[in-house]
Structures are given as C-alpha cells and as structure tokens.
Amino acid sequence: MNHLDLVVLVGSMLAIAAYGTWHTRRHRNLNHYLRGDENVGWLTIGISVAATQASAITFISTPGQGYESGLDFVQNYFGMPLALILIAAVFLPIYRRLNVYTAYEFLGHRFDAKTRLLGAALFLLSRGLAAGITIYAPAIILSTVLGWRLDLTIILSGLLVTIYTVTGGSRAVNLTQKYQMAVIFGGMIVAFAILLMKLPTGLGDAFTVAGGFQKLGAVSFSFDPHRRYTFWTGVLGGFFLSLSYFGTDQSQVQRYLSGSSVRESRLGLMFNAVLKIPMQFFILLLGVMVFVFYQFEQPPVFFNHAAWQQAVQHDSGGKLQTLQQEFDTAYAQKAQLIQQWLEAKHAGNVQAAAEAHTAALAALERSNVIRTNAMQVMLTDDPGVKSNDADYVFVTFILEHLPHGLIGLLIAAFFAAALQSKAAELNALGATTTVDFYRHLLKREASDAHFIAASKWFTLLWGLVAIAFALYANLVENLIQAVNIVGSVFYPVVLALFVVGFFIKRIGGTGMFWGALAAQLLVLALYFLHYRFPKLDFSYLWYNLIGCAACVLFSLIIQATLGSKSRSPKT
C-alpha cells in the first residue's frame, strides 16, 4: 500500500463513520435507539439485511472458498429464498402485531419467562462467538497489509467498531449501511473487471480452464452424507439455517422491524430472497477467476506471506526452499500443459486436448501435494501456525496485482463490510441483553435515558467479549465456514422454539424449555463426537434439520408426560 491507498482507505472510512455518528448523535427514546426511526423504506431495509449478513468474511473468505473448492458453496444459500418467504408470510406479521423490541419477547408471550431467557441466552452465546470471528477477519487484512501485530490489530479495529456502535445505535447502522454497500460492490465489480482484463485468455478459455479443473460444479444432487455442499444440504439444511438466522437472530430481526410498515419489511426481505444467490455466485466466481489467473501467473506456495517468510527463516533443514523449487518446476510444467490444452482445443484436436487436459490435472495435483507438504513442514516447526491460507488468497491478489488507489478502495470495502455487520451484531447483542435480561429480570421500571445508558454499556461489554474471543480463537476452518458452523450448532434449537411457538399450540413452556435443552445437548454432542467417531462426520448443515426436529420431538414427548396442566400459553 502507498500513500494514495492510505488516503482512499482512511478518507472513505472516516467519511462514512462521521456521517453516521453526526446524524445519530441524539436519541429521543429507547425505541429510537434500539429500532431506529421506524420510517425506513423497503430498499434501505433490503440493503440493511444484506449488509448485516455480508460481513468482511463474505468478501475475504468467499473468494478464497471459490479459489479452493469452486462454486459448490453457492448451494449453501439454496434454502434462503424459501425461508425468507416463510418469514415474510408468517414470522413478520406476528412480530409486528406483538410490537416487540426483540424476537425473544415473543417466546415470553407464547410460553413463559424461562423459555424466553433460554432463547435469548442461546442467541447471545452463538452471536457472541460469531462476533469474535467477524472481528478476526478484517484484522487479518490489516495485519497483513500494514505489517502490524495481529493482536494489536484486533484490539484497535474492535474498539473502533464498538465505539461507533455505542454512539450511533440502530439508526447509525441502518443509515450508513447503504453507503458502505455501495463502496463494497463498487470495489468488487472494479476488481472483477480488472481481473478479467489481466487474464491472458478470453472469457471462454477462462471458463474452460476453470471447468477442466472442476471449479465450476455449482450444483450436485449427490446423496453422499459426507459431502458438505449438495443441492439437498443446501435446500434442507440451508432452509433451516436461513429460517433461524433471518427469523430468530436479533441482529436480523432488528433490521426488518425498523420498516415503516409490514409492506416495506416484506419487500426488503424479498429483495434479499431474489438477489442473494446471484450475489454469492458472483463472489465465488471472482475466486474461481483468481484461480484461473494463477494458472498463468505463478502463485506463492503459501498465500499467508508473513507466515511463509517466518517459516522459511526458521527452516534450518532447508525443506521449505526445496519445496519452493519443486513448486516452481510443477507450476512451469502445468502452465505449459494448459497452453497445449487450449491450443489443441482451438485447433479442434479433441484427442490432443483431452491428453493435455489429463496431464494438466496431474500437474495441478502435484502442485497441491507440494503445498500440503509445505503446510505440514510449517506445522511441524510451529504447531500454532494457521495452516489454512484460503482467507489470504484474495487479499494477496489485490495487493500484488491491482493498481494503487483501487487497493485502498478494496481494503476500505472490507472494512466497511466489517463495520456494518459487526455494528449490527453488537447493536443486537446490547438490545437483547437490555430488554430480555436487564429490564425483564433486574429493573422493570426506569426512564428511557436509563435504558439507553444500560444498552450502551452492554454493547460496550459485548464489544470487549468479541475482541477477547477473537484474540484467543484458534481458527482452523475457513472463516466463512466457521461462522456457518457456529450458527448450525446453536440456531436449530432457537428456530424450533419459534416453530413450536407459531405452529404447535399443544406444547407449553415447561415442555418446550426441557425439550430445547435436551436438543441443544444432542447437537453439541454430535458436533464434538465427530472428532472421535468419523461416522458422525457429516455435513454441518444437517445439524439444522436434526436439531430442529429433535427439539420439536423432545418437547412433544415431555409435554405428553407432563399432561395438559402446563400447556396454557402465557400472554
């Protein structure tokens, strides 16, 4: 990064943050602080919902996922349009009618206080953990770009977002998200265009290379339970994951409850239902095109440049240098074979093209084996090193191959994404702690000024918790997957609380509470036992279906044993 990049980065970030903070410096009452103006139109809600979900991880980690595994991750979002339709038709009108601040207040109306607190507690636990992960992602970039220490970067960027959220509340989140999304998509589209211009081949050949290396498999109807992303895991598991995230996660519920009417909130949700799949496809395709680019331009053995340099310095046996030489040779052979493959294809020589393609696949496999060996050497020398470098792929491409000014804009885009999703998360964590715990359990009667102050203190507290988790989290999974795994472990039970609340009238508070606890223990057991028993190592998306179904079943059984006395709902 040079001075121009720094000016673009700091200027765009300060302008957006200052605009949001200035316009939201005074809050009339608690309603205004927690839910914003309540006169927001559908487009602002739609963008706000999309921006809350699309954290920095989406724009850093998803291209890395596309680079490594191709387009199949897009299936993760197949259940989302269906879930959003159900939320718009059923969940939203009920929330609006009950006029709640948080989704968990509904559980108090329908069941009892303990079930409301359980739902709110599960949300705080899962979102608190995810907040740590979303603070970790942009810190990776800053530490790589500026050469800062990672822990220092986590603390500084985490404090910046926390102070901004505490000051601005929900309105600041809504107000600035559309400008941040404009910066993000402007940056990503320009990066995509420049990437295509830098490719030495036409778009048709780029797709041939990507397809030939199995990067364009977007849909699979496989029933293999060990395969993480298929049409079935996407539609079923993704449906339950999206239903719980958009229907019961306060960070999202808070966004669409700020609409001026049911109509505006519904259209905001439908905006996302239509556009989410093409948006994720575009970001994954960007990663696939980066993969194609690195077939013609030599990539590093390991994309985390700082970690690689450190490992090379401590590699007394020279193993990494040997692997680097082997990698260079394998790359040169592969590039030559790809050239032969494309020339044979253009000449119409099908057999020669097929032979060159097979040889290029073998060369790619050799390169991958060398990369794996290099990671193992690094892990042997330093067991604490993060051996998955997928999250560094897109950042490396930006820093090494894009023009100055655009580098600053894209880094600003990542920070904008981090700021907006983190702010929405902290805002929701503060609101839930204030409304569902503090006001409900400790201080029922107090002025709005008192609750606004309490909400600010709780938001600050959650910001500090997220920073602490980000500092100590040892993340071995790709970040975008880690967020989805945390969600899949905790969301299904929260979702079941709402599904039973909406659709199964015969279950009362006590049956629901114990059924939910049992189901949560089951999902946690399945998650932790898969490390010990490989047979349990199926796609995490299935946790959403299993956890939700188990919770409904357990609560039905417990309710049946309790009888009808504990059935009557609280109102």
Partner 1 sequence: MPAGAPSDGEDERTGVPGLYTWRGVYFFVFGCFILWVVLLLVLTVTFS
* CB 99 to partner 1: min, Å: 4
Among the residue ranges 264-272, 293-301, 365-373, 502-510, the one whose residues contact partner 1 (CB under 8 A): 264-272
Q: Indicate which single residue of 15, 113, 163, 216 sits in contact with partner 1 (rule: CB under 8 A).
A: 216
Does residue 475 touch partner 1 according to CB under 8 A?
no
Q: Which is nearer to partner 1, 39 or 564 (CB)?
A: 39
* CB 84 to partner 1: min, Å: 8
Q: Indicate which single residue of 88, 292, 409, 412 sits in contact with partner 1 (rule: CB under 8 A).
A: 88
Chain positions 364 to 403 lying near partner 1, rule: CB under 8 A, are none
Q: Indicate which single residue of 96, 109, 198, 530 sits in contact with partner 1 (rule: CB under 8 A).
A: 96
Chain positions 100 to 129 lying near partner 1, rule: CB under 8 A, are 100-101
- Residue 40's DSSP bridge partners are 259
Report d(CA 427, CA 436) in Å as an integer. Answer: 14
Does residue 203 touch partner 1 according to CB under 8 A?
no
Amino acid identity of 424?
A: A
How is 176-215 classified by DSSP, letter by letter?
A: HHHHHHHHHHHHHHHHHHHHHHH-SS-HHHHHHHHHHTT-
Q: 562: Cβ–Cβ under 8 A, 6 or more apart, which residues?
A: 508, 510, 511
Does residue 218 touch partner 1 according to CB under 8 A?
yes
* CB 360 to partner 1: min, Å: 15
Q: Which is nearer to partner 1, 201 or 388 (CB)?
A: 201
* CB 391 to partner 1: min, Å: 24
Among the residue ranges 212-220, 315-323, 418-426, 512-520, the one whose residues contact partner 1 (CB under 8 A): 212-220
Report d(CA 379, CA 340) in Å as an integer. Answer: 37
Q: Which is nearer to partner 1, 214 or 380 (CB)?
A: 214
Report d(CA 389, CA 396) in Å as an integer. Answer: 10
Does residue 411 touch partner 1 according to CB under 8 A?
no
Q: Indicate which single residue of 89, 306, 347, 521 sits in contact with partner 1 (rule: CB under 8 A).
A: 89
- Residue 259's DSSP bridge partners are 40
Does residue 262 touch partner 1 according to CB under 8 A?
yes
CA distance to 33, 70, 206, 340, 506, per residue, from 212 (Å): 53, 11, 10, 14, 55
Does residue 71 touch partner 1 according to CB under 8 A?
yes
3-class secondary structure per residue, 371-421: HHHHHHHHHHHCCCCCCCCHHHHHHHHHHHHCCCCHHHHHHHHHHHHHHHH
Does residue 208 touch partner 1 according to CB under 8 A?
yes
Find the distance separating the first CA and the last CA of the chain, reported in whole Å.
Answer: 59
Report d(CA 419, CA 17) in Å as an integer. Answer: 9
Q: Indicate which single residue of 15, 85, 446, 471 sits in contact with partner 1 (rule: CB under 8 A).
A: 85
Does residue 351 touch partner 1 according to CB under 8 A?
no
Token duo for residue 174: 């809504």
* CB 204 to partner 1: min, Å: 10
Does residue 211 touch partner 1 according to CB under 8 A?
yes
Residue owning tokens 């979002």: 77
Q: 125: Cβ–Cβ under 8 A, 6 or more apart, which residues?
A: 490
* CB 559 to partner 1: min, Å: 30
Report d(CA 59, CA 287) in Å as an integer. Answer: 10
Report d(CA 219, CA 222) in Å as an integer. Answer: 9
Chain positions 23 to 62 lying near partner 1, rule: CB under 8 A, are 31, 35, 38
How is 269-293 classified by DSSP, letter by letter?
A: HHHHHHHHHHHHHHHHHHHHHHHHH
Q: Which is nearer to partner 1, 5 or 105 (CB)?
A: 105
Does residue 454 touch partner 1 according to CB under 8 A?
no
Three-state secondary-structure class, residue 222: coil
Q: Indicate which single residue of 175, 273, 410, 519 sits in contact with partner 1 (rule: CB under 8 A).
A: 273
Does residue 210 touch partner 1 according to CB under 8 A?
yes
Amino acid identity of 558?
A: I
* CB 289 to partner 1: min, Å: 13
Token duo for residue 400: 């090494």
Size of the site for partner 1 (CB under 8 A): 42
Burial profile 400-415: b = 16 or more Cβ within 10 angstroms, e = fewer? ebbeeebbbbbbbbbb
* CB 96 to partner 1: min, Å: 6
Q: Which is nearer to partner 1, 263 or 404 (CB)?
A: 263
Q: Indicate which single residue of 267, 465, 475, 549 sits in contact with partner 1 (rule: CB under 8 A).
A: 267
Does residue 274 touch partner 1 according to CB under 8 A?
yes
Report d(CA 389, CA 68) in Å as an integer. Answer: 10
CA distance to 309, 350, 361, per residue, from 269 (Å): 46, 48, 43
CA 264 to chain centre: 25
CA distance to 25, 132, 197, 403, per residue, from 469 (Å): 29, 5, 41, 35
* CB 98 to partner 1: min, Å: 8
Among the residue ranges 128-136, 266-274, 342-350, 532-540, the one whose residues contact partner 1 (CB under 8 A): 266-274
From 77, 48, 83, 50, select the one nearest 65 (Cα to Cα): 77
Q: 1: Cβ–Cβ under 8 A, 6 or more apart, which residues?
A: 9, 145, 146, 399, 404, 407, 408, 411
Does residue 97 touch partner 1 according to CB under 8 A?
yes
Does residue 312 touch partner 1 according to CB under 8 A?
no
* CB 40 to partner 1: min, Å: 13
Among the residue ranges 207-215, 308-316, 420-428, 521-529, the one whose residues contact partner 1 (CB under 8 A): 207-215
Does residue 292 touch partner 1 according to CB under 8 A?
no
Residues of this chain that bind partner 1 (CB under 8 A): 31, 35, 38, 71, 74, 78, 81-82, 84-85, 88-89, 93, 96-101, 207-208, 210-212, 214, 216-220, 231, 261-263, 266-267, 270, 273-274, 277-278, 281
